[in-house]
Structure 1
Amino acid sequence: MEKQRKPKNIFVEGPISPEKIANSIANHSSKTDIGGHSIFLGQVRADEKEGGKVRAIAYTAYEEMALEKAYEIREAVFSKYPLTCMHIYHSLGEVKTGEICLFVFTSSRHRKAAIDACEELVERIKKELPIWGKELVDNEKEVWKENQ
Structure 2
Amino acid sequence: MEKIRKPKKVFVQGPISPMFITESIASHQSKTQIGAHAIFLGQIRADKKETGVVTGIEYSAYEEMAEEAFHQIRETAFTKFELTCMHIYHSLGVVPTGEISLFVFVSSPHRRAAFEASEFIVEEIKANVPIFGKELVGEVGYVWKENK
User: Normalized against structure 2, the TM-score is what?
Assistant: 0.95
1:90 maps to what in 2?
Answer: 90
Q: How many Å apart are 1:8 and its aligned residue? A: 1.0
Alignment of 1:17-28 (within 5 A): 17-28=17-28
Q: Which segment drifts farther, 17-26 or 132-141?
A: 132-141
Q: Which runs of 5+ in 1 are unaligned?
A: none
Q: Alpha-carbon deviations, 1:51-94, whole Å to 9, x = none?
A: 21000000000000000111011001101111001000000000
CA distance in 2, matches of 1:75, 1:106: 13
Identical-pair percentage? 64
Aligned residue in 1 for 2:147: 147
SS at match of 1:83: coil
CA distances 1:32-56 after superposition (whole Å, capped 9, x unpaired):
0100000000000000112210000
Cross-structure match for 2:80:
80
Aligned length: 144
CA offsets 1:109-148 (integer angstroms, 9 cap, x no match): 0100001000000000011000000000121421100111
- 1:1-148 pair list within 5 angstroms: 6-148=6-148
After TM superposition, the score normalised by the length of structure 1 is: 0.95
Give structure 1 regions of 4+ aligned residues with deviation exceeding 6 angstroms: none
